Every structure is written in C-alpha cells, then in structure tokens.
Structure 1
Amino acid sequence: MTVTLQSPPLTENEDGQTRQVGIELEFSSLSSQQSAELIRKRFGGEIISHDPHHYEVRDTQLGSFDCKLDVRYAHPSEDKEETAKRLLSGWVEEEKLNNLLRRTESFIGDLSQGWVPTEIVGPPIPYPQIPLIDELVGDLIAEGAEGTESSWAYAFGVQLNPEVAAKDADYLLRHLQAYCLLSDWLRESINIDVTRRILPFIDRFPLSYTKLILQKSYRPTREQLIDDYLQYNPTRNRELDMLPLFRHLDETRVISQITSSLIKARPTFHYRLPNASFNKPGWSLAGEWNRWLKVEKLAHAKDRLSEMAAAFLQNQSKVFHGNWARMSAQWVEP
C-alpha cells in the first residue's frame, strides 16, 4: 500500500523556498559500489571512486549521493595519516607508508562487510521528492539489501534531516518540547529494534532536561537554549541530535564545548530514531516522514503543546512507569 506523503505545517524556509530534507540509509548485503550503481541507474550521474569501500555519485537529477561502508577505519583520513607519519617518520618511506595505509584500510573494509552497514547519504531534496528515495529503496531491496529486522545484529537506522522553517528561539524550543513529549509515543509506534535500544546512538533526552524545557517559565534566548542543551546533552547520541543545527547557528558556542569532527553544521533537525525496516511490509520513508510531522504539528499547535507539557509535569508517576506513550496518544494528530 502506497503511503501518501504529508506536508508540514510550515512548508517553506525563511527564504520562501520549499523546505528540503536530507536522508541517510543504513543496510547490509549490498556493497557501496553496488549501491552506487543502483543510484546511477535510477537517477543518472557519474560514479567517483574514493577508495574500495567509498563511492560518490555526482550530478544525478537530485544532486550528489555518498555511498560507503560505515566504518571510518576503512577510509583515508588526514588525522590517521598524520598520526602514522608522526609515529613512523624515519622508519618507513612516505610512499611505502601510504601504500601500507591503503592496503590496511581495504583489508579492514573487506573484513567488516556483512556486519558493518553500507550507508547512503543523500543530497538535500525538496520534501515532496521523498517518494523518489522510496523508489531507490525498492531498487536496493530488489537487489538483496537487508534492513534492521533481518538479523538481531543489524542495528541499522534511517536518519531524516528536515530543514528548519525558522531559526528563532521560540520555534526551536517548541520543537524540542514537542519531541520530548512525543518521544515515548514515537518509540512505541516505531517499535525500536532491541539492538538499537541497547546501543547509545539514539539515547533519550535526560528527564531533568525534559522537565527544564517544559516549564512554563522557561523562555530562553537562543544563546541560553543552546547553552542549556550543551550542558544536559554534550553528545551526538540523542534521538533528535540538535548539535548540527546549533553548530550552524552558533559555531563558536558549540565547538567551545564539543570538539567532535563528526558534527557537521547544517540548518536541519537531525532525527535519528527510525529503524531501517527495508524488509517489513508496508514500510516507507514517506511513512517515517509523516511520523516525524507529528512533532512539527504539535510544535505548531501552541495551546495543545502547553496542555500536553502541563500534563507531563503533573503525571510524573505515569511517565516513570512507562505509561506516558499511551497517555500522550490523545494529543497526537490522526
């Protein structure tokens, strides 16, 4: 059954253009090269090989795609090469050292295939084009790609990066509040894979942080909002990772607290919760996008948001005992 893609309450960004979304997919049983070939077949473009486990598909009808084995030790990096040269300088000639590094990376990549996912990072596209990526997912599945439910060891996910419609503190706070309030409902609705629950990549927001931002008296400036987020969430491992957005808005403030080179500044929410349920009948990216829009719709409905926040703060025992997901369903739009 085809899922009808829904539109967000605010369809345009601050420049009056249709909001975009970036999509990241994780799966197994297809190599990065095979994935790149399927992208080119579907959308055109030119395949560029960066290393045996990293391919780029440039100039497709949607933009450029990145396909790689999701393990950094299988790919060249400046940090790794600088470290090797520092340790082995005077012992190994530079050309031989570079050849050794390339062979080692290729070996690690070959060894990792089958238990480390292949990752496709798509270009920002206008959100109405999400069904085109669902067509690509269909191509991947037809060629044997396996998603989260294919093995207990496959902690694979989908990441949506919806462009923000505004950048003021009130807009950002309302979306954080809405997300925290709907987190339990989202997890129950998605039925998060057990392995993904155990691993730290989609950790919940601390209850202390949720209680702080839901207080009616909490009306921070954007600077205070970022500072409080960094204090309670000094990590990328959140189900809704705000660090890329906050780095885009105030790079100095963020990198003074968190130095990870993996945080890429971009004007988007970084929603990491969905499973990559490739082999589950009826699953689609359009459906996951529609589920994300529950957050945006709640954030847009200010009276409903305030009512739900008050109920959360007044029903701590039900929150603690896992009943909030069922309670919160009454505030979720059909």
Structure 2
Amino acid sequence: MTVPTKAVSAVTHFDPLLPPEPDRTDGRRRRVGVEIEYAGLAPSETARLVRYIFGGTVRAQDEHSFRIEGTLYGAFTVELDMLAAHPEGPDGDRAEKPGPLEERLRAAVGDVGSLVMPYEISCPPVPVDEIAALDALVEGLRRHGAMGTEGRLFYAFGLHFNPELARPEADPIIDVMKAYLLLSPWLREDMGIDIARRVAPFVHRFPEEYAALVVDPAYRPDLEGFARDYVRLNPTRNRELDLFPLLACLVPDALDGCGRDPLVKTRPTWHWRLPDSRVGQPDWSIVPDWNRWVQVERLASDRWALNELGALWQDCRRERALADWPRVVGRWLAPG
C-alpha cells in the first residue's frame, strides 16, 4: 500500500490557517477558546494587562482569581490552577460566603501553590479567523516577566485550544478523532513537547488498543457507541485530546458518570491540551500550534486519505513498525 497523496502542508509561518469548515451549520463563524498557563506574574497584574489590551472591567473573586468582563470578546478569567485556593465552585458558584479564617487559609494555600502550580488565563471564545489577536496578550505577558514551560525544569505548563464543533454529528466527530490519532505521534515530535510535560500525567497518549479500534476505516459507530468506546478505553481526563467536555455535552448518558466530574466543563468543543505554553520565549506565538490543529481538521475532511492512512497504520502495527510512524506522516506532510 502506498502513502496517500498529500492533503495538507506543513506549518511554516505564523499566519493563522482557517479550518476546512470555518462556519457552523447555522452560518455563524466557529469560535475557539484558548487557555494559557504561566508563572511569574501575579493574577492581579495579569488582569490589568488583559484590561489594557482588550478593555473591560476587572472584578476580583479572591486573592488568586480575577474576572475581566465586558471586553471586546467577552469575559476573561485569570486564576491559580488549583481549586483549593478558591472559595467558589468550578462554575463560579459560591455555596456560602467563607469566614475570615477560611479566607486566610485559602489565600495561604494559594500563596504556596503559586510556587509550583501555574496561573491560567481562560480567554473567551474568539472567531477562528481572529485567533492571532490573542498574541497581543502573549507579548504582554512576556514583557511583564511571565514564564512558561521554558522557565523552570519542573514547569509543565500547557496551551489549550477548545475549537467549537462545525457539526455536532457522529461522522465529522469520528473523522477528527481518526485524524488526530493518526497525526498525534508526528505532532509530538514536530512540537518538541517539553520533557516536564511528557512525564506529567496531564497529556498521556491514547492507548494503542484505542487507536487501533478507531483508525480502522470500518469504524463507524453512532455517537453513543463512540462515546461508550471512548470512556471504556479512556476512563480519565488526562489525555492529550480530552473528549469529556464534548461528550458530556452531546451524549451525557453514555459516560457512565465520568462526565459528572466537577472539573469537566460541558461544552460542544474539542479540548486539545497537548501544546506547551512558552510565554517567556522570545517570538513565541500561539498560532503555529493552532495551525497544527487545523492540520488535523484538514485530514479529517479528506475521507479517502483518512481511510488510506488508517489502513497503513494498521499495516505498520502488524509489522511492529509504529516507531517509524512519525517519519511516515512527516514525509506525507512535507511540502513539494
């Protein structure tokens, strides 16, 4: 079997690419949420930076959590990525006002946690053709001393993308998952994932058993069957592409309780958490990693190439040659 002809090209610039389906079925432009983890800059200062760039009003929720409302795109949040430091629940709901002792304790927990845990900026969803606007925030963070994964040996900070679905239907969702599993080994090599994140539990690879099931060209379950297969073989949020938010939104009954984890934010989006956050690195941009995601969607839109690569992956598995798979994919993506 020959490698299928190239359907996408390698990322070589910082101009954002549009996915093959940039609009939803209702005609509205798709949006993408972005989360950036970092250290070295207090959340209050970060909140003021967001307000300076995008406008809006800063509201302090506690010492380690701020919300910037009324910006050009919607509400940003800046907070320590550590639930124990915040008196509010995961959805911002406060069951009851904490007492003075609890407030001081949570502030102390946050002070200690900020030494090893990242702060996180959650950006409101922006149209996919305006994602480069968020690089102004990256530049501001860097100028004010923020650090990403490059800052310390033990920093394992991520850049997360939450692309909105174009169509909440089984076939396009399965196609994207097939494409991601086929491109994932190449993505990891091409991105040069930091060693701290490779050994951390947050972005585990998908089990080979699951990849073998899904990339099979004959794999075409309904959405509920797809969800049950996913939960059975991936009973954890700690995957490089976390499907729990999406599946909890579309088929919650198929998740057998996994979707009721309070950390699962139900939404009709993919949750891609593989890329590193390198905000302290000169000239670092979020756009190349976004363009890598578009590579996945471009492959997903080409059913013939998807099936050919799926069959080739299975051949490599039978021959115990999957170690060569990134090179195979790299040759396919190479320009020319």
Give the TM-score, by structure 1 length: 0.91
Deviations 1:281-326 (A, max 9, x none): 4421111111111100110111111111111000116766622111
Residue 63, structure 1, aligned to residue 74, structure 2:
yes
Verify the 8 A CA contact 1:30 1:145 in the aligned structure 2.
yes
Aligned-partner SS, 1:323: helix
For residue 32 of structure 1, report the CA deviation from its aligned partner: 0.9
Verify the 8 A CA contact 2:316 2:322 in the aligned structure 1.
no
Q: Does the C-alpha gap of structure 1 residues 333 and 171 become closer, same or farther in structure 2, counting only changes over 3 Å? A: farther
Q: Does the C-alpha gap of structure 1 residues 100 and 181 become closer, same or farther in structure 2, counting only changes over 3 Å? A: same
For residue 78 of structure 1, report the CA deviation from its aligned partner: 5.5
Q: Corresponding residue for 1:232?
A: 233
Once structures 1 and 2 are overlaid, which stretch shifts more, 224-233 or 253-262? 253-262
Verify the 8 A CA contact 2:142 2:281 in the aligned structure 1.
no
Alignment identity in percent? Answer: 38
CA distance in 1, matches of 2:299, 2:77: 33
Aligned-partner SS, 1:119: strand
Residue 306, structure 1, aligned to residue 307, structure 2:
yes
Aligned-partner SS, 1:322: helix
CA distance in 2, matches of 1:319, 1:189: 22
Aligned-partner SS, 1:120: strand
CA distance in 1, matches of 2:259, 2:129: 34
Verify the 8 A CA contact 2:245 2:259 in the aligned structure 1.
no
For residue 2 of structure 1, report the CA deviation from its aligned partner: 6.9
Q: Corresponding residue for 1:169?
A: 170
Q: Corresponding residue for 1:53?
A: 64
Q: Corresponding residue for 2:220?
A: 219
Verify the 8 A CA contact 1:32 1:67 in the aligned structure 2.
yes
- Compute the RMSD of aligned alpha carbons: 2.0
Q: Corresponding residue for 1:98?
A: 99
For residue 252 of structure 1, report the CA deviation from its aligned partner: 2.8
Amino acid corresponding to residue 100 of structure 1 in structure 2 = L
Residue 264, structure 1, aligned to residue 292, structure 2:
no
Q: Corresponding residue for 2:26?
A: 15
Amino acid corresponding to residue 8 of structure 1 in structure 2 = P
Q: Corresponding residue for 2:50?
A: 39
Q: Corresponding residue for 1:252?
A: 253
Aligned-partner SS, 1:226: helix
Aligned-partner SS, 1:114: coil
CA distance in 2, matches of 1:44, 1:50: 18
Aligned-partner SS, 1:265: coil
Q: Corresponding residue for 1:130?
A: 131
Q: Does the C-alpha gap of structure 1 residues 117 and 330 become closer, same or farther in structure 2, counting only changes over 3 Å? A: same
CA distance in 1, matches of 2:315, 2:286: 35
Higher relative contact order (CA 8 A, sep 6+): 2
Aligned-partner SS, 1:23: strand
Aligned-partner SS, 1:253: helix
CA distance in 1, matches of 2:294, 2:320: 23
Verify the 8 A CA contact 1:148 1:155 in the aligned structure 2.
yes
Amino acid corresponding to residue 289 of structure 1 in structure 2 = W
Aligned-partner SS, 1:25: strand
Amino acid corresponding to residue 13 of structure 1 in structure 2 = R
Q: Corresponding residue for 1:290?
A: 291
CA distance in 1, matches of 2:195, 2:89: 35
Verify the 8 A CA contact 1:247 1:255 in the aligned structure 2.
no
Q: Return the structure number with greater helix share.
A: 1
**Aligned residue-pair number:** 320
CA distance in 2, matches of 1:50, 1:220: 44
Amino acid corresponding to residue 147 of structure 1 in structure 2 = G
For residue 258 of structure 1, report the CA deviation from its aligned partner: 4.2
Verify the 8 A CA contact 2:13 2:288 in the aligned structure 1.
no
For residue 333 of structure 1, report the CA deviation from its aligned partner: 6.9
Q: Corresponding residue for 2:242?
A: 241
Once structures 1 and 2 are overlaid, which stretch shifts more, 233-242 or 70-79? 70-79
CA distance in 1, matches of 2:38, 2:82: 13
Amino acid corresponding to residue 144 of structure 1 in structure 2 = G
Q: Does the C-alpha gap of structure 1 residues 59 and 216 become closer, same or farther in structure 2, counting only changes over 3 Å? A: same
Q: Does the C-alpha gap of structure 1 residues 170 and 126 become closer, same or farther in structure 2, counting only changes over 3 Å? A: same
For residue 129 of structure 1, report the CA deviation from its aligned partner: 1.5
CA distance in 2, matches of 1:107, 1:256: 33
Q: Does the C-alpha gap of structure 1 residues 132 and 191 become closer, same or farther in structure 2, counting only changes over 3 Å? A: same
Residue 72, structure 1, aligned to residue 83, structure 2:
yes
Once structures 1 and 2 are overlaid, which stretch shifts more, 105-114 or 116-125? 105-114
Q: Corresponding residue for 1:26?
A: 37
Once structures 1 and 2 are overlaid, which stretch shifts more, 314-323 or 152-161? 314-323
